[in-house]
């Protein structure tokens, strides 16, 4: 039985990961700011899977001390954590220099500094017990710089991907630690973060389908995965090499 902690679990990709991982046999620790949503999700999961243990906790990942405290409380409640999924994030932003530093800063603090705190808390536990699985949810937008309202979001997702790779690099040199680090690069998956966007986005898939691809990669413990594999695996390779004037059209 795997025990998995998911941040940002009250809606969207986080909530759907919780549902699918519970179905796959995981016990769960679910964190988010909106505890009423977590209560509803726990009731739904336990009704579908009566044998699952589901612990919940309120957490704002920009509160550094709370991240460490909540992770410890949930670890104690469930008797340990096998996997932590760093998922909480914001999608807001504005073009640089347009007077919305406040929005861009909030996204940067949540998506990068908040993710750093989560990685620190997770790795503190994994180092102590000698094993674990750290999963970081990045984005296909991390592969190149993105324009306008996507600029800071994409930069934070590139930052956490590099953070995860650095931790993975260290773990390769530590045969005494059985710690896996997985970076997931989701493409366009319908979620609460983007469900108010009216225009049709090419390659967009529904939440259940997109998350199924994410969960399959997580359960396999791969180093990195662009999901869904089609079209994002080949498109990601193209994004690395296409001229910026072409890549910017994907933003």
Contact yes or no for 84/72 (Cβ under 8 A): no
Cα→Cα distances 188→18, 38, 127, 162, Å: 19, 24, 34, 21
Quote the percentage of the chain above a pLDDT of 70. Answer: 95
Taking the complete model, does pTM exceed 0.75, yes or no?
Answer: yes
Tell me the Cα Rg of the chain: 17
The closest alpha carbon to 108, from 158, 145, 147, 148, belongs to 158
Tell me, what CATH number does 98's domain have? 3.40.50.720
Question: What are the tens digits of pLDDT across the range 11-49?
Answer: 999 999 999 999 999 999 999 998 999 999 999 999 999
Nearest to 169 by CA among 157, 156, 158, 183: 183
The helix (run of H) or strand (run of E) holding residue 160 is helix 151-172
Q: In which residue are the tokens 């529904």 written?
A: 206
Task: Decide: 74 and 5 in contact? Cβ < 8 Å.
Answer: yes
Query: Band of the pLDDT at 240, cuts 50, 70, 90?
Result: confident
Of 127 and 191, which is predicted with more confidence?
A: 127
**Domain span at 29:** 3-250
Report pLDDT for 195. 52
Structure confidence by residue, pLDDT tens digits, 159-192: 999 999 999 999 998 999 999 999 999 999 987 6
DSSP bridge pairs for 31: 57
Total number of domains in the chain:
1
Helix axes 151-172, 101-108, angle to 10 degrees: 20
Give the whole-angstrom CA distance, residue 39 versus residue 42: 5
Tell me the CA distances in angstroms from 86 to 50, 101, 164, 249, one per residue in order: 26, 25, 10, 28
The tens digit of pLDDT for each residue in 87-111 reads 999 998 999 999 999 999 999 999 9
Contact 141, 157 (CB under 8 A): yes
Tell me if residue 153 is catalytic.
yes
Given the residues 71, 126, 153, 185, the one annotated as active site:
153
CB atoms within 10 A of CB 185: 23
Mean of the per-residue pLDDT values of the chain: 93
Contact 139, 153 (CB under 8 A): yes
With 70 as the cut, is the pLDDT of residue 197 above it? no
């Amino acid at each position: 039985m795997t025990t998995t902690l998911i941040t940002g679990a009250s809606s969207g990709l986080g909530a759907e990961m919780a549902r699918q991982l519970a179905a796959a046999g995981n016990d769960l620790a679910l964190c988010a700011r909106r505890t009423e949503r977590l209560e509803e999700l726990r009731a739904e999961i336990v009704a579908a899977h009566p044998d699952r243990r589901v612990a919940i906790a309120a957490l704002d990942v920009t509160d550094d001390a709370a991240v460490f405290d909540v992770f410890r409380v949930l670890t104690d409640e469930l008797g340990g954590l096998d996997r932590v999924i760093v998922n909480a994030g914001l999608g807001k932003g504005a073009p640089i220099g347009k007077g919305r530093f406040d929005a861009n800063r909030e996204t940067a603090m949540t998506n990068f500094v908040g993710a750093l705190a989560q990685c620190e808390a997770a790795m503190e536990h994994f180092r102590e017990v000698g094993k674990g699985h750290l999963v970081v949810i990045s984005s296909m937008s991390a592969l190149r710089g993105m324009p306008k309202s996507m600029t800071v979001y994409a930069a934070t997702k590139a930052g956490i991907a590099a953070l995860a790779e650095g931790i993975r690099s260290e773990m390769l040199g530590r045969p005494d630690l059985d710690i896996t680090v997985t970076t997931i690069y989701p493409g366009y998956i319908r979620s609460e973060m983007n469900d108010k966007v009216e225009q049709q986005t090419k390659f967009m898939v529904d939440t259940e389908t997109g998350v199924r691809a994410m969960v399959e990669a997580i359960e396999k413990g791969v180093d990195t995965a662009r999901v869904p594999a089609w079209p994002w695996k080949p498109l990601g390779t193209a994004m690395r090499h296409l001229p910026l004037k072409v890549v910017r059209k994907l933003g």
